[in-house]
Structure formats: C-alpha cells, structure tokens
Amino acid sequence: MCAASGSLLHAQTAPATIAGQVSDETGGVLPGATVVLRSATTNRERVVVTDANGRFTADQMLPGSYAVSVSLSGFESLTRDGVDVGDGGQVRVELVLRVSTLRDEVIVRGTALNYASSIAGKRAADGVVDMFNADEIGRLPDKNIGETLNRIPGVSMLLEKGEGRFVQIRGISPRLNNITINGMALGSGETESGGRLSPLDVIGGELLSGVQVLKTPTPDMDGQGIGGTLNLTTKQPFDFANNFTALVSTRGGVESIAAVTPADTKEVPYTMDATLTGKLAAGKLGWLAGASFSNRYTPLLGIYNDDWRSVTAGGSTISYPTNVKNNVTVTGRERLNLNGALEYRPTASSRFFTRLFSARWDELQLRNRFDEGLGNGLTAVTGTTGGTIAANRVQVNLRSEPTLKKLNSVAVGGGHALGRWSVDYIGQRNDNTIDEPNDNWEFRSGVSTFGPDTFTIGQSGAVTIASTGRDRMDPSLQTFRRVRYFEQLTNETSYSGVANVRRDTLFGGAKPGFLKAGLKLTQTDRDTAISQRNFGIGSLNWTAAASPALTRGGFGNPVPLQSVPNLWLDLDGLTGFFNANRNDARYFVLDERATYLNEYQGDFTLRERVYGAYLMGKIDVGPVTLLGGARVETTEVDSSAFTLVTRGPNLEAVPAEGSGSYTSVLPSIVSTFHLRRDLVARAAWTSAVGRP
C-alpha cells in the first residue's frame, strides 16, 4: 500500500527530496526499516533507515522517477514503482507493511536496531561520523553519557574519581576537542589544561536523542576540535509522532562493595527520568518537558606504597616503601538534568524554536587517609621480604571536597525554506559554574612515637607492619599540624549567534548539490577566583583527642589484599571545633603570608571573542560525492590577573592585563565513494584549530 502527494516547484536547477513514514497495518510506526530508492534513469540507489518514529528523508536527489522499496524483519517487503519527483520537488510517501506470513522467523530488535540506525546516519553524513542513537542511550549500565561513548570506535573516556569525565577522540587530548549541544558549543567551567575541558559527568543520557562524534570538521562547523567534535542532541517535540507521549523509567543497582564502619558510606544507586511531550494547534506547536535524577554514594578503598628505596643493614639489603598509606574515600554524586523545548511550525517550510537544557551536579569526596611511615632507622633485615625499623611516625589526614557544577543553556532560533533557498539561525547563551571547596585537616605523631616495628612484604607487594607498645590508632598520639580551607569558583558565560544560508542546485543541470555560507560570533567571559586560608597550630600542643567529637575511633580498613589500621576523623566534629576556637591562639594561628599569596596568585578574568565565516559546496558526480570549502576564524582575547611584587618586607598583588588576536584559515575537502549499496568509503583532508 502506498500513497504519494506533493507539489512540484518548477525551478530548473534544483535537486529533489523524497520523504515519508513507514507503519504497519494498525497504524504503528516502524523504526529501523530499510528504505531503498532506485532511480529509473540511472539505476543508482540511495539507502536510508527510518528513525524512531518510522520517518525517513532522502534529499539531494536527481529529479526523475524512482522505485521505493522497504523491508523490515517480520514484515513483507514492499516496492512501489513510479514515484515521480520534479525539479526542486518534494514528495511525501506513506508506506504500510503487512506482517509476514512466515512464522519460523526469530525477530531480535533493540541493539541491532540502534546499530542499523547509526550505520544509516553514518552513510548519509557529509564527513566521517560515529553516532549513538536514542534506542540505547540512557538504558545502558553507564553512569553518564561519557561512559556510553566508550562504545564508539576511536573514542575513550578519561576516568576520574571512579567515573568517566572527559572524552578523548582518536587519542587526542580532551582539551583539543569540541563539545556541542544541538550543534552549538557547550562551554565549560573547568580551569585545568587551559580551561577547555568539558566534563561529561554532569550529563546523563536519559534526555538525549543521540550523540554524534564528528571526526572530520566541515566548514560549517566550529574550527575548534583537532581530535573531533562531540555533539549531544536533546529530545525535541517533533521527534515523536503522537499528539501526546509520556516516557517514564527508573533503574536501580547494587553496590557489591560493603559499607565501612563506623561511618555510613553506602547507599543504593538509582536513576529516575521522565519525558512528557505533545502537540497543539493542529499539530503545529510542539512542547516537551523532561527531567532525570541519579544518585550514587559508595566507598572506594585503596592502599598505596610510596617511595620505594633500597637500604642495607647488617650486610643485607632490602627494598621497602617509605610510606604505607591506606584510604577510605566516600564518594557521593547527585545529578539533576532538565530539558525543555517549544517549537512552532506554521508551515511545512518554516519553524521557530526555544530550547532549554539545565544540569546540576553535586559531588562529595571525603577521603580519610592513614599514612604509616617506615623511616631510615632500619636495624635488621629478615630474609628478602622483611625487616625491623627502630622508630617511625603515623600521619592522619582528612580531605573534604563538596563540588557543585551547574550548566544552563538557552537557545532560540528558526529555519525557513523557499524553493531552493533555505536559511537557519540560532542565538544561544550558556552559563557554567564550578564551585570546588576543599577542606584538608592534617594530624601526625612525633617522628619516633612508634617503634621498634617489624614489617613484611607479601608476594602481592602488600606491606604488613607489626607494632609493639603503643596503639597506632590512638587519637591522643596524633598532634594537630594544620588545616587548609581552599575554594575555587569559576563562572563562565558565553553568547553565540550563527546564521546560515543554503542554495540547492543541479550543477550542469544534472548533478545535485548545494552552496552554503554562514557567519558566527561567539563571546565568552570567564572569572576564576581562588583562595586558601592556612591555619597552623597555636601555642597549645593539642591532639585529635582534644574533643571526643573529633574522631570516630580506630577501625580496620578492609582493602582487598588485607585489613589495615585507620583512624576515622569526623568532619562535622572538626568543623565545629574550628568554629568554636578559630580565634583562640592556643589552637589556631593564621598563616597570613601564605593566605595572601593564595588569595591572588590564581585569580584571573578572560574575555574571548571568535568571529567566523565560511563558504562551502557539495556536488554529486555519480559514484563520488565531493564536499569542500573553507572557514576563516579570528580570535581576540583580553585577560587580566595579578602579579606578586615584593615591596620592602611585604608582598603586594599588582593587576596585570594582556590582549592578543590571531586568524586561522581552515580549508577542507571530503570525498564519499559509493562503492555498493551496502558499502561507502570516505577520504578527507580537513583543518582544525586547538586554542590554548
């Protein structure tokens, strides 16, 4: 069953478009169906795959008559001959498939459907692209969208704190890649490696419709991205065929690691998400609202033997570590994502939209470290795996990092088509914030508080220390050393505006293609403020036993190789003790010089403006499609910071300012070779820029 309708625009030099939808006899849409369009004149075939709503589009077609065939496992194949489309014409084809009468066929869909849709997208792309579509995103056992990308060839994630954070494309540093949302730069509040790292741990996959990794930039893309560009596509109202759709899901998990007493270090991980979308005004106005939330709270255990050295005693030599450290790191993460959109399509050739995406990431990293020192006083060697140390010390420290990341992105734009001409435009604002406080408490015993101690090195490298006399977990033997209150706050606001114009044409009257040009302006303002207050010990030699609230006592840290001793410092108790005694010189003394240095030496402001323009074209010359052009970008940077100058006995922070500019010319050409219906090869020479 097939119906076709359309209006033929009698421009004599415009390619054609054939679009449509595939459904079953009950009206249900059929995603993943393979649609083959074969020209009656040239016998050349174009292959596309229907999307999640059963829709397909084949543009840049040579005007003429086509046979349209569709196939899908479990259904009878269908072919309709004589689908005619004229110069500049747009024809819509509705295809209805019957259920197959063969009952011995096993139908497996899901991941296979996702791969089929991805392959079709890669075949239709203008450059070298890998992608992941909506079928699987957010339903895989990944902690964030970054970890999902590990499933794409040539893409890997750099792990940090047990979770994928930065994407690496083709082995290139993450700071040299470009991260976009719906085709527009996402921005970042990070300051490491020049501040161009975009963390993906703030984004879950539940509200996305797809991700694309573009490895060969075309002139209509940002010049930034030597490794490639990662584009995140959010769900939009017209992605769904029905007038109302509700999607709700939840996932839960089990942490196999046991909680560590005496603290509460573990919760059940879970994720919840919901998307509501619909259409109003006779299907012309679409709306969408979505939210997702995930929570994870778990301990991470570790043991680290640092600074190995060889020491000789009594004529025997042994290698052992200077420090034997073990950690209990409690990591908590809450992620909230919001997605909203309004889109108005008054006609088939015009649309206006507003898109909003928001992400909030609350993270807690609480690390309790117990550091047992094996000093220089080696008095005896026991075989090749042990010895005796005359005296040593133990250090205990607690580091608390409650990090807050926020991303808000708002975009307004539209697009219009008039015959063979089309224009689109977008204005976008991004706000990124990262607030990273860090409280670090340090206690340590005297250099010879413990000993003599014997140690044994196991086959795995684990070091066991047997201590006689004093309890190594006794808080009264841990003297306060210092506390440092660090905070880094980065705010980044960016504005982008882009406009593109395209003219579809038939070069020489028979070769489909287009010419395209555009302009883009981006301005980014960043402000980073860093401070650290350093407090040392006062006149009183006080210990971790000064108040019962300062610790939760000693415990055995159940690291995989063996249980090792540790002393749990209590953050709430330490904070309360500090607030009660911070002005008492017996307990705390502010290091004014170090505090002053840290107040200014890391602060800076930055304004970057990027002006871009491009011209490109595409032509289909039969078995080969050529796309080429050039992009020109001018970058202007204004920055300010502080330099520290010594004046007499004092240090003084003096403002320092700088500016600069440079222009980059970025040509590119991409060739696509249509070798068979199921085989496409590409060769590309492209240019990109990696900004410092």
- 315, with CB counted inside 10 A (0-12, 13-18, 19+), is exposed
CB-CB neighbours of 526 under 10 Å: 21
Give me the mean pLDDT over the 559-587 stretch. 94
For residue 118, name the pLDDT band (cuts at 50, 70, 90): low
CA distance 42 to 623: 11
In which band, very low, low, confident or very high, does the pLDDT at 106 lie, cut at 50, 70 and 90? Answer: very low
% of the chain at pLDDT higher than 90 = 47
Per-residue pLDDT of 238-261, as tens digits, reads 988 889 999 999 988 887 778 888
| Domain shared by 456 and 474, yes or no | yes
Strands 45-49 and 34-39, by their bridges, are: antiparallel
pLDDT digits (tens, 9 = 90+) for 387-431: 999 888 999 999 999 999 999 999 999 999 988 899 999 999 999
pLDDT tens across 399-408, in order? 999 999 999 9
Determine which of 386-395, 554-563, 644-653 has the lowest per-residue pLDDT on average. Answer: 644-653
User: What DSSP string runs through 665-676?
Assistant: EEEEEEEEEEEE
The verdict on residue 438 lying in a domain is: yes
Kindly state whether residue 103 falls inside one of the protein's structural domains.
no
More confident residue, 601 or 434: 434
Alpha helices, H only, 544-670: 571-581, 592-600
* DSSP-derived 3-state class of residue 97: strand
User: 234, 256, 284 — which closes off a domain?
Assistant: 234
Assigned token pair, 231: 């584009």
Question: End of a domain among 69, 97, 125?
Answer: 97
CB neighbour list of residue 392: distance below 8 Å, 6 or more residues apart: 372, 373, 374, 375, 377, 447, 448, 450, 451, 453
pLDDT of residue 637: 96
Q: How far apart are CA 196 and CA 660, in angstroms?
A: 18
CA atoms within 13 Å, Cβ hemisphere of 358: 10
Boundary residue ending a domain (174, 205, 234): 234
Q: Do the domain assignments include residue 677?
A: yes
Q: State whether 250 and 316 are in the same domain.
A: yes
Q: Is 447 a residue whose pLDDT tops 60? A: yes
Q: Within 13 Å, how many C-alpha atoms sit on residue 242's CB side? A: 10
Same domain, 352 and 218: no
Q: Provide the pairing of β-strand 178-181 with 229-234.
A: parallel
- Please state, in angstroms and rounded to a whole number, the distance separating the CA atoms of residues 346 and 352: 9
Given a cut of 70, whether residue 533 has pLDDT beyond it is yes
pLDDT the model gives residue 124: 72
Distance (Å, rounded) from C-alpha 328 to C-alpha 366?
A: 8
CATH number at residue 15: 2.60.40.1120
Domain count, the chain: 3
Read off the tokens for 591.
């290091």
- 600 and 478 in a common domain: yes
> What are the pLDDT digits (tens) for 319-363?
899 999 999 999 999 999 999 999 999 998 899 999 999 999 999
Considering the domain architecture, whether residues 170 and 243 belong to the same structural domain is answered as: no
> What mean pLDDT comes out for the span 265-285?
91
pLDDT tens track for 29-40: 787 788 999 988
Q: Is residue 12 part of a domain?
A: yes
Q: What is the pLDDT of residue 114?
A: 57
Torsion angle, alpha carbons of 557, 560, 564, 569, to 10:
-30
Tell me what the pLDDT averaged over the chain comes to.
Answer: 87
Give the CATH number for residue 123. 2.170.130.10
The answer, yes or no, to whether the previous bond of 692 is cis (omega within 30 of 0) is no
pLDDT at residue 370 greater than cutoff 60: yes
Closest CA to 404 of 430, 365, 433, 438: 433
pLDDT at position 105 is 45
Other CB atoms within a 10 A radius of the CB of residue 591 amount to 16
Q: What is the pLDDT of residues 201-216, one digit of tens each?
A: 888 878 888 888 888 8
Q: Is 105 a member of any domain?
A: no
- Residue 691 in any domain: the answer is no
Note down the domain range covering 20.
Answer: 2-97
Mean pLDDT of 60-82: 88
Q: In this predicted structure, what is the pLDDT of residue 135?
A: 54
Within a domain: 449 = yes
**Are 91 and 126 part of one and the same domain?**
no
How confident is the model at residue 191, as a pLDDT? Answer: 64
Q: Is the pLDDT of residue 163 over 80?
A: no
Cα 454 to its chain centre, rounded Å, is: 47
391, 442: one domain: yes
Of 93-97, 133-137, 231-235, 338-342, the least confident? 133-137
pLDDT class for 175, splitting at 50, 70, 90? confident
Q: How far apart are CA 173 and CA 159, in angstroms?
A: 13
Three-class DSSP category at 304 = strand
Residue 102 in any domain: the answer is no
Tell how far CA 682 is from the center of its chain. 28
Q: Find the mean pLDDT for residues 86-112.
A: 69
Question: What length is written for the chain?
Answer: 692
pLDDT by residue (tens digit) across 482-496?
999 999 999 999 999
Residues 207 and 254 grouped into a single domain: no
Q: Single out the residue of 127, 131, 543, 556 nearest to residue 370, CA to CA.
A: 556
Predicted local distance difference test score (pLDDT) of residue 497: 97
Region of 509 (left: φ > 0; alpha: ψ -120 to 50; beta: rest) is: left
The CA distance from 325 to 305, in Å, is 6
Residue 396 and residue 421 in one domain = yes
What pTM does this model have? Answer: 0.85
- What one-letter code names the amino acid at 547? S
Tell me: do 84 and 119 sit in the same domain: no
537 vs 586: CA distance, rounded Å: 8
pLDDT at 4 over 50: no
Whether residues 134 and 210 share a domain: the answer is yes
Three-state DSSP class for residue 581: helix
Residue 189 above 60 pLDDT? yes
Same domain for 485 and 564, yes or no, is: yes
The pLDDT, as a whole number, for residue 76 is 87
